[in-house]
Structure 1
Amino acid sequence: MASVAAVTRILLGKNLLNSGRVAVLPNTGFVKFYSAAPTYENIKIETVGAKKNVGLIQLNRPKALNALCKALFIEVGKAVKDYDADDSIAAIVITGNEKAFAAGADIKEMQNNSYSSNQRNGFLQEWEDVSNCGKPIIAAVNGFALGGGCELAMLCDIIYAGEKAKFGQPEINIGTIPGAGGTQRLPRYVGKSKAMEIVLTGNFIDAQEAEKMGLVARVFPVEKLLEETIKLAERIGTHSPLIVKMAKQAVNQAYETNLRAGLLYEKSLFYGTFATNDRKEGMTAFIEKRAPNFKND
C-alpha cells in the first residue's frame, strides 16, 4: 500500500487534492472521492433559506442583460432537474439582477437559423426541462422580462416582481412571433384582448399593470423582491412535498383542459391524497392541534 505522503504527492500532481473532490483519510492511506458540484458559466446556483431548502438559480449574463442563449438555457434546465431530484429542496427560485431578469432571447445566436434547422435541431426544446419540473418554481423578476424572458417567467408557477420590472413580447418588432409559449400562456394569464395588444404592438407593461392583469402575483420594492420570494418558497416548504406536487399538477390542468375534465382530474387527485400518510398526518395534527410532521409519503 502506498504511503499517505506518496498518495498526497500523486493527487497534488493531478491538481485533485485541493479540488474539493478528493481527500486522503488520516492514518490509512485510503482516498475518498466526493461528487463534484456542477459548475456553470451562465448561471449561479445556491441553496438558500433558513433550512437551506430553496434552490436559487440566478441568470448570469449581465453584459447581455441575461439574454437567453442556448448554453444558458441548457444550464437552467440542468439546475432545475437537479433541484427537482433533490429531496432536500422544497421549491426553486429563478431570478436575474436588478437591471434585467432576461431581456429576451439571444438574437445574434438565432439570426441565421432556418425553418429546417429549427425543425431538425428542436430549437427551444430545452425549455421543457423547466415546464416539466414537479416542484414549484417562482420567478423573481426585476428589470426587463421581455420576449423569452417574459416566457421564462410564465413557465414558472408564480411570478413576484420588483416595482420597476417591465414585461413584454416585442418579437413583432423584429419580424417574428413568440416561440416559447408567449402566445399561449399570456392569454391564459391576462385574457385574449390584452394578450393581443401586448403581442401585436410589442409594447411593454410595468409591474403594477402586470399585477392588475393577473400576470404577477405580488409587487415589492426592488431591494425586497428576492427576500420576499425566498420567504414564499420557504412557506411552501412547510407543507408535504408530495401534496404540493399534486396541487401543482391540479392547477396546471386547469390551463390544459375544459372545466368538466379539469374537475374530474382534480377529484381523482383529491381522492389520491387519501392514499398518502402525509394526508393522514396533516388531518391528525389538525385535530390534535399540533404542527404536522410530513414525511413526503
Structure 2
Amino acid sequence: MDLIITKHDGWTALTLNRPAQKNALNTALLAAVAGELGRLAMDPACRAVVLAGAEGNFAAGADIGEIADKGSAEGATDPRKAHWAAIRAFPKPLIAAVEGFALGGGFELALMADLMVLGPSARLGLPETNLGLIPGAGGGQRLMALAGRARATRMVLTGEIIDAETALAWGIAAYRAEDALAFAGDLAARLARRAPLALMAAKRALVAERGLALDLEREGFEALLDSEDKAEGIVAFREKRKPEFKGQ
C-alpha cells in the first residue's frame, strides 16, 4: 500500500509509503493523496490532517521514470495537475511532518501544507534545474512567499538543499522538533479541538494565491519537457554524473 491512512480522534495521518524510492511521488501516489484528502474534506470527524513519509524520508522528489519520456504535450494534459489542484483545495488544516529528504515535488507537497514541522534530519530543496527543469507545482512561488525572493531564487537557481535549522530560520517551517511526526500529531490533536469553521475560514484567507504567477511557473515547466537539456539532465541523473547542458 503506497499510502497508509491512520485515523485518530479528530484527525488523520497520511503516510507516503514507497520507502525503496524514498517515497518519490509517482502519479498513483499523488492521486491517492489527492483522493483521500477529497474524502477527508467531507468527513466532519476529521478536522486536521498530517502528511508524513515512511522510513526516514518525506518524499525525495517526483518519479524520474515518469518524467523521462514526457513531452510538453503530455505535460499540458498531465493528470498530476488535477491532483495538485485537489491538494491545494483541501479546506482543513494540513500539517507536513518532514524527516529526511523533501526534494522537488516532495518539497512542493510539504509547501502546500499550512504548517511544516521539521525533524533533525530534514533536508529541503528544489533541485529541478539539475534536470533541466523548474518546479512545476507552484513550489517556487510558495517558497518565495515564505522565504523571500533572494532565498527562493538562491534555492531554485542553484538547486541548493538546506537543513532544518536553516529552513526554520528562513521562515519556511513553523516548527522544528526532535520527533517531527509525534509533534505534528500533537499539533493536529490541538487543532482538532478548535472551532473547525473558524479554522477553515482562516485558512481560506491565508492561502489566497496569485494564480497568474502559479500558471506561469507551470507553463515554464511544461515547455522545458521538450528540451534537450531536460533529456540530458535525466540521463545524467540516472548515470550518477554531472549533466552537460547546451541550452537547447
TM-score range, shorter chain: 0.7 to 0.9
Task: Summarize the Cα distance change of 1:80–1:123 in structure 2 as closer, same or farther, 3 Å threshold.
Answer: closer
> In structure 1, what is the equivalent of residue 54 of structure 2?
97
Report the CA distance between 1:125 and its aligned residue: 2.5
The one-letter amino acid of 2:189's match is E
- Of residues 235-244 and 190-199 in structure 1, the stretch that sits farther from structure 2 once superposed is 235-244
Deviations 1:33-63 (A, max 9, x none): xxxxxxxx31100112xxx111110000000
CA contact (8 A) 1:150 1:182 kept: yes
1:196 maps to 2:153: yes
169, 180, 183: which one pairs with 2:137? 180
Contact 2:52 2:97 in 1 (8 A): yes
Q: In structure 1, the residue corresponding to 2:157 is in which secondary structure?
A: helix
- Of residues 85, 108, 112, the one that matches 1:128 is 85
1:115 paired to 2:72: yes
Distance 1:98 1:63, change over 3 A: closer
Q: 1 CA distance for matches of 2:136 and 2:6?
A: 30
The answer to whether structure 1 residue 81 and structure 2 residue 38 are counterparts is yes
Of 128, 137, 140, the match for 1:171: 128
- Asked if structure 1 preserves the Cα contact closer than 8 Å seen for 2:18 and 2:54, the reply is no
Instruction: Give the letter for the 1:228 counterpart.
Output: F
SS of the residue corresponding to residue 198 of structure 1 reads: helix
Inter-partner Cα distance in structure 2 for 1:212 and 1:90: 29
- From the CA coordinates, give the structure whose radius of gyration is larger: 1
The normalised TM-score by structure 1 is: 0.69
Percent of residue pairs bearing the same amino acid type? 37
Gaps of 5+ in 1: 1-40, 258-297
Which of 32, 42, 65 is 2:2 aligned to?
42
Moved over 4 A (4+): none
What is the CA RMSD across the aligned residues, in angstroms?
A: 1.3
Q: What letter corresponds to residue 59 of structure 1 in structure 2? A: L
> What SS does the corresponding residue of 1:66 show, helix, strand or coil?
coil
Residue pair 1:98, 1:143 contacting (<8 A) in 2 also: no
Equivalent residue runs for 1:1-297 within 5 Å: 41-48=1-8, 52-221=9-178, 224-253=179-208, 255-256=209-210
Of structures 1 and 2, the one with the larger relative CO (CA 8 A, separation 6+) is 2
* 1:122 to partner: Cα distance: 4.6
> Helix, strand or coil for the counterpart of 1:164?
coil
